[in-house]
Amino acid sequence: MGWLKSLHRRRLLARHSIDGRRWARALRHLPFLGGLSDDEARRLREMAVIFLAEKQFTPLRGLELSEDDRVEIALQACLPVLELGLDAYEGWVGIIVHPSDFHVKRTRVGEDGVVHEWDDELAGESWPGGPIVLSWEALEDAGSVAEGGANVVIHEFAHKLDMMDGEADGVPPLPSRAARERWIEVFDAEFDRFRQAVESGEETPLDPYAAEEQAEFFAVASEAFFETPNALKGQLPRLYELFKGFYRQDPALRLKA
């Protein structure tokens, strides 16, 4: 039924668009969207329109999302799949937005059989096969990766891409066994080197949170790939080349400054 989906999307784009003023406001708030070619900008805006029609936003605790909020979330979500296609986000529809960071109860059984419980305070979370949860307050940090901030939208949607072939493990779907083996070889070596740098107290090009596990390394590095690509390319060039191949984009080329 792919033809039916294509027809529906064409009709949707014939009726709806992101106007120039709203796009200009998004560019001011999300400067890493700069440098896109006219064709890339057009496709990103069209993808965002379709995304907004196919995903369901649920603000909680009295929060009201403005149309600019929704559009900016959609643009950031669509940027990683600009060349991969929106079908990468199939199989789920929900985007839950909390007014601020939220708490999640965690449970883990230790090697000794003891059950450990604790509360995590989160700005975002992705559930396999389920919704993405975001903090509206954290959305204001978009564009701040260079200053040590975070991009919660790109982070959580990177987790969704990572989970396309199972649980998040830092290895997204790749076109061949050889490509997967190459990814694991380079990615694991870069992760181990990064974790050692964090443990030794060295200054690192990524938020130290990336050392938690491979899945977080992938998501945090994805934030940097799109927001601060030249810094990532300069300090972790092998990782940058991996991401360039997977995302089929070269942000360092369009964001030369």
> What pLDDT, on a 0 to 100 scale, did the predictor assign at position 163?
96
Q: For residues 227 and 153, is the Cβ–Cβ distance under 8 A? A: no
> What pLDDT, on a 0 to 100 scale, did the predictor assign at position 118?
45
> What pLDDT, on a 0 to 100 scale, did the predictor assign at position 209?
94
Q: For residues 160 and 146, is the Cβ–Cβ distance under 8 A? A: no
Q: For residues 45 and 77, is the Cβ–Cβ distance under 8 A? A: no
Cα–Cα distance, 108 to 111 (Å, whole number): 10
Spans of all domains in the chain: 2-254
> What pLDDT, on a 0 to 100 scale, did the predictor assign at position 256?
80
Q: For residues 14 and 47, is the Cβ–Cβ distance under 8 A? A: no
Beta bridge partners of 121: 103
Q: Please report, in tens digits, the pLDDT of each residue of the chain (257 residues total).
A: 577 788 889 999 999 999 999 999 999 999 999 999 999 999 999 999 999 999 999 999 899 999 999 999 999 999 999 999 999 999 999 999 998 876 565 466 556 655 546 466 667 888 888 899 999 999 999 989 989 899 999 999 999 999 999 889 999 999 999 999 999 999 999 999 999 999 999 988 899 999 999 999 999 999 999 999 999 999 999 999 999 999 999 999 999 85
Strand 124-126 relative to strand 132-135: parallel, antiparallel, unpaired? antiparallel
Q: What is the DSSP string of the chain?
A: -HHHHHHHHHHHHHH----HHHHHHHHHH-GGGTT--HHHHHHHHHHHHHHHHHSEEEE-TT----HHHHHHHHHHHHGGGTTT-GGGGTT--EEEEESS-EEEEEEEE-TTS-EEEEEEEESEEE-TTS-EEEEHHHHTTTT-GGGT---HHHHHHHHHHHGGGSS-SS----SSHHHHHHHHHHHHHHHHHHHHHHHTT---SS-GGGGS-HHHHHHHHHHHHHHSHHHHHHH-HHHHHHHHHHHT--HHHH---
pTM for the complete prediction?
0.91
Cα–Cα distance, 171 to 159 (Å, whole number): 10
Contacts of 5 (CB under 8 A, 6+ apart): none
> What pLDDT, on a 0 to 100 scale, did the predictor assign at position 116?
46
Q: What is the DSSP string of 119-156?
A: EEEESEEE-TTS-EEEEHHHHTTTT-GGGT---HHHHH
Cα–Cα distance, 252 to 232 (Å, whole number): 9
Instruction: Please give the angle made by the CA atoms of 151, 156 and 157, to the nearest 5 degrees.
Output: 105
> What pLDDT, on a 0 to 100 scale, did the predictor assign at position 36?
96
Fold exhibited by the domain 2-254:
Cyclin A; domain 1 (1.10.472)
> What pLDDT, on a 0 to 100 scale, did the predictor assign at position 247?
98
